[in-house]
Every structure is written in structure tokens, then in C-alpha cells.
């Protein structure tokens, strides 16, 4: 049944692309782009946004049961404000997704993650590693892009299977919910993103942060620190976000092409927020 659905979506995807060559801007259709679009179409058909939201709500509830949110209202509001600014620029987000940003009180974990439906969480360990708002915005942009590009939906459909996902969204298989929430929070590598999705999230996420007015070099600074990092907290980040050096080089190449590179860092405000951690 699932295979038939996928085959149908693939076939209709390819037909739509062949019938509409203007789609590719009049240029040559690139096979990798075509495959990306076909995969996206499969996901859109298999797990529509309403279902993704339903699943996301359940996973967010589970995540907040398993983890302690930071008690400082100022910290929560600060991160939510930066996140909303960045998310507002993610204009390619599918309709129906509403982003939320929350801080988990855990200084030992240097990570951030997104759940289906746009629930984004940052660990206090990552907030402490960053030195300004532009660095935070770069990681939030990256997580927003995992949602806007439907990477999470794709990863879930591929890793868990459609029937089970739909079941969980509908309130069945509750015993699988905690495991799934843990996997998505980066505690397990089974559902970690692939290299391509990581580059794709960087490519889309950095412009979100820059359009929100932030210094693009924030990405290079923060990801440079993440790459150098040692200790178990960093291993969690590396398990859920493969971090080859090309990612930093790619971002630098992307920044070199940007017209406006003079975004803000809001370092003073960021330092003030850190005092609450
Ligand atoms: Zn990522």
C-alpha cells in the first residue's frame, strides 16, 4: 500500500515536471533537483502538514515531559523573539506550520533540534557556547530550514514508516512516542540527517538569519566552535548534525556572494541574557 502510494507520487511528480519545463527556469533540468522535488512530492502526499502538526504536538508534549525547560522567563522570551524574527523570513515554509522556540535547561548538551510541525528546542549548553545573537540566529535558521524544507517529515517517513507515523499521530502506539522524541532530540543517530539535508538546511537557513538582519559570519563563528568542540555534549550535536568542514566552507562561499554583510550581532543584549542562565 505504502509502495503504491510512493510509486504514484513519484510518477505524478515526474509527469508534472516533464509537463512544466518552465519550472526549471528554462534551463536544463538537473537530475538531482528533479529527484529532490520528487522526494518532496512523496512527502507532501504521504505526510500532509495537518498530520505533521498532529504528530509534532504529541512529540513536543513528550519532549517537555522528558526534559526540563529553562525556568527563566527572560531567557525563553529572548530565544523565542530571535527565533520568530528568523522564522518570519522562512517564506518557503509550508502553510499551516507555526514555529515555536524553547530552551531546555541542560548545560551539558550542546545541541538544538526541531520536531515536526516547527517546535524548535535549544539546549542551554548551546546558548552558552554562542557569544552573540547572530550565532544563535544562525543555528535557529538552520533548524527552521529542516522544517521548511520538510527534512523532518522525510526522515520520519523513511526511518519509521508511514503507517506507524499516521498511527502515532492518531494516538496509537503511544509506547513508541518517547523513543521517537528521544531520537529526534539527537540522542540517537538512527534518525539523524544526512549530509545532503544538512547542506540544504545551511543553504536555506543562513539567508533566513541574514534577512532577519543578522551578521552572516555568526554561522562561521558558531559552527567553527562546534567543529572544534570536545566532550559528550558535542558528540550529541555531531550525531544529529554531521559536520564536515565543507559546511563551513560552503557557508563562506555563500557569504562571499551576499550583497549586504553588515548584519547585527547584538552582543551586549546576548551577554545580558546569558547572565540569566
Ligand atoms: Zn541540521
Q: With 50 as the cut, is the pLDDT of residue 243 above it?
A: yes
- Ligand 1 centroid–CA 4 distance in Å is 30
Mean pLDDT of 45-64: 93
pTM for the whole structure: 0.85
Q: 88: how many CB neighbours lie within 10 A of its CB?
A: 14
Q: With 70 as the cut, is the pLDDT of residue 54 above it?
A: yes
* The residue to which cell 543562513 is assigned: 206
Residue 13: alpha-carbon gap to chain centroid: 25
Q: With 90 as the cut, is the pLDDT of residue 123 above it?
A: yes
Label residue 33 by pLDDT band (50, 70, 90).
confident
Q: With 50 as the cut, is the pLDDT of residue 2 above it?
A: no
- Ligand 1 centroid–CA 225 distance in Å is 15
CA separation for the pair 46, 236 (Å, rounded): 30
CA separation for the pair 114, 102 (Å, rounded): 10
Q: With 70 as the cut, is the pLDDT of residue 216 above it?
A: yes
Q: What are phi and psi of 28, to 5 degrees?
A: -70, 140
118: left (phi over 0), alpha (psi -120 to 50) or beta: left
Count the residues in the chain. 277
- Ligand 1 centroid–CA 256 distance in Å is 22
- Ligand 1 centroid–CA 13 distance in Å is 26
Q: With 70 as the cut, is the pLDDT of residue 127 above it?
A: yes
- Ligand 1 centroid–CA 28 distance in Å is 29
* The residue to which cell 572544534 is assigned: 228
- Ligand 1 centroid–CA 189 distance in Å is 12
- Ligand 1 centroid–CA 3 distance in Å is 28
Q: With 80 as the cut, is the pLDDT of residue 189 above it?
A: no
Q: Which residues surround ligand 1, an ion (CB under 5 A)?
A: 201, 241
The domain spans of the chain are: 1-46, 48-274
CA separation for the pair 214, 135 (Å, rounded): 9
Mean pLDDT across the chain: 85
Label residue 239 by pLDDT band (50, 70, 90).
low
CA separation for the pair 127, 149 (Å, rounded): 24
pLDDT of residue 49: 95
- The Cα-based distances of 112 to 49, 150, 171 in angstroms read 22, 17, 26
- Ligand 1 centroid–CA 195 distance in Å is 9
CA separation for the pair 55, 168 (Å, rounded): 7
CA separation for the pair 250, 191 (Å, rounded): 24
Query: Would you say 41 and 9 are in contact if contact means Cβ atoms under 8 Å apart?
Result: yes
- Ligand 1 centroid–CA 232 distance in Å is 18
Q: 255: how many CB neighbours lie within 10 A of its CB?
A: 16
Q: What are phi and psi of 121, to 5 degrees?
A: -125, 140
Q: With 50 as the cut, is the pLDDT of residue 262 above it?
A: yes
- Ligand 1 centroid–CA 242 distance in Å is 8
pLDDT of residue 31: 80
pLDDT of residue 48: 92
Express as a percent the part of the chain with pLDDT over 70: 84
- Three-state SS string over the chain comes to CHHHHHHHHHHHHHHHHHHCHHHHCCCCCCHHHHHHHHHHHHHHHHCCHHHHHHHHHHHHHHHHHHCCECCCHHHHHHHHHHHHHHHHCCCCCCCCCCCEEEEECCCCCCCEEEEHHHEEEEEHHHHHHCCCHHHHHHHHHHHHHHHHCCHHHHHHHHHHCHHHHHHHHCCCCHHHHHHHHHHHHHHCCCCCCCHHHHHHHHHHHHHHHHHCCECCHHHHHHHHHHHHCCCHHHHHHHHHCCCCHHHHHHHHHHHHCCCCCCCECCHHHHHHHHCCC
- Ligand 1 centroid–CA 21 distance in Å is 31
- Ligand 1 centroid–CA 241 distance in Å is 5
Residue of 69, 122, 70, 82 lying closest to 241 (CA atoms): 122
Amino acid at each position: 500500500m505504502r509502495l503504491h502510494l510512493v510509486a504514484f507520487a513519484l510518477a505524478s511528480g515526474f509527469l508534472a515536471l516533464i509537463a512544466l519545463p518552465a519550472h526549471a527556469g528554462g534551463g536544463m533540468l538537473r537530475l538531482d533537483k528533479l529527484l529532490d522535488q520528487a522526494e518532496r512530492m512523496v512527502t507532501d502526499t504521504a505526510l500532509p502538514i495537518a498530520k505533521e502538526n498532529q504528530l509534532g504536538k504529541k512529540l513536543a508534549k513528550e519532549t517537555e515531559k522528558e526534559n526540563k525547560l529553562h525556568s527563566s522567563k527572560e531567557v525563553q522570551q529572548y530565544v523565542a523573539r530571535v527565533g520568530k524574527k528568523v522564522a518570519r523570513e522562512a517564506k518557503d515554509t509550508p502553510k499551516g506550520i507555526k514555529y515555536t522556540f524553547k530552551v531546555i535547561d541542560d548545560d551539558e548538551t550542546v545541541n538544538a533540534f526541531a520536531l515536526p510541525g516547527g517546535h524548535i528546542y535549544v539546549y542551554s549548553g548551546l546558548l552558552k557556547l554562542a557569544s552573540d545573537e547572530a550565532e544563535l540566529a544562525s543555528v535557529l535558521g538552520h533548524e527552521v530550514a529542516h522544517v521548511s524544507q520538510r527534512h523532518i517529515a522525510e526522515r520520519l517517513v523513511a526511518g519509521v514508516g508511514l503507517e506507524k507515523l499516521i498511527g502515532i499521530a492518531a494516538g496509537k502506539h503511544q509506547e513508541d512516542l518517547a523513543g521517537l522524541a528521544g531520537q529526534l532530540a539527537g540522542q540517537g543517530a538512527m534518525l539523524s540527517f544526512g549530509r545532503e539535508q544538512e547542506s540544504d538546511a545551511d543553504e536555506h537557513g543562513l539567508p533566513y538569519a541574514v534577512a532577519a538582519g543578522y551578521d552572516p559570519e555568526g554561522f562561521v563563528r558558531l559552527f567553527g566552535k562546534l567543529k572544534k568542540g570536545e566532550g559528550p555534549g558535542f558528540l550529541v550535536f555531531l550525531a544529529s548534525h554531521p559536520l564536515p568542514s565543507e559546511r563551513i566552507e560552503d557557508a563562506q562561499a555563500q557569504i562571499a556572494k551576499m550583497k549586504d554583510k553588515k548584519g547585527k550581532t547584538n552582543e551586549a543584549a546576548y551577554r545580558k541574557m546569558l547572565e540569566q542562565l
